[in-house]
Structure 1
């Protein structure tokens, strides 16, 4: 059964600054508690990542993912192929400028390979959303300073 999680926050930065931070996938292990490694396999003509190989660790379980990124003016999406731990994954960042701030909405759907107890699922969602939003906000703010 697919698991969904989402969070929305305001970040004091432009959509471009946020997307630039997300595009720097090689830096993910330095600010995301989930990522152990991230390697860009190929890029779009504008230099943004297209296919990325990552190693993630969540709740003591390590998984290797092959992600396909897609980019728009105010959004970014990735999809993961099947791995040992999951049947698939889809994640989206949607950015809405509001004056000097940007509303950032992150949505993720993961289809685990096996059932996960509710208490572990709740904890995993919190960890993923913390990395995807709160740590992203810290990284964007640090990059601006």
Structure 2
């Protein structure tokens, strides 16, 4: 798997509020511009998604894929891996939340995507940067909104 793209942002809200937005996968189409639909396929006993199907439309890139989630017990991190996809052959990602002394939360987002179609590494890293930057900005807007 290639190098991970990592981005951070600070959100003016406590970590549990940020994680509540991240964990509410069903609402992603309301605030994630590329998300057309999200269907939670299976859940853990606490109600958090175990697997979910996403349909994305980001202009020239359209994809349908299933992710499997792992939620850290302390509620401060979540990671996911691709189970199946049309355009992707691998996706590994995570959000880690770090409480700040002023009550804000630093969000660390890591993402690696590998596509079924060949793509020059430079363009792939640029696409990952755009994806992570956009995701963090949309998350901040939703939480602080």
Distance 1:44 1:128 in 2: 27
- Show the 5 A alignment for 1:1-145: 2=2, 4-72=4-72, 73=74, 74-99=76-101, 100-117=103-120, 120-121=123-124, 123-142=126-145
Q: Give, in angstroms, the shift of residue 83 of structure 1.
A: 2.0
Look up the SS of the partner of 2:85 in the other structure. coil
Distance 1:57 1:5 in 2: 21
Distance 1:53 1:87 in 2: 15
| Change in 2 beyond 3 A, CA 1:24/1:35 | same
TM-score (norm 1): 0.87
Distance 2:84 2:3 in 1: 15
Uncovered stretches (5+) of structure 1, i.e. residues with no partner: none
Look up the SS of the partner of 1:134 in the other structure. helix
Look up the SS of the partner of 1:136 in the other structure. helix
Q: Give, in angstroms, the shift of residue 30 of structure 1.
A: 1.3
Uncovered stretches (5+) of structure 2, i.e. residues with no partner: none
User: Which deviations, in whole Å up to 9, do the C-alpha atoms of 1:68-101 show, x marking residues without a partner?
Assistant: 1111121011111242312110000011111201
Q: Give, in angstroms, the shift of residue 6 of structure 1.
A: 1.6
Distance 1:82 1:41 in 2: 13
The answer on whether the counterparts of 1:3 and 1:111 sit within 8 Å (CA) in structure 2 is no
TM-score (norm 2): 0.87
Distance 1:57 1:25 in 2: 16
Distance 1:81 1:42 in 2: 13
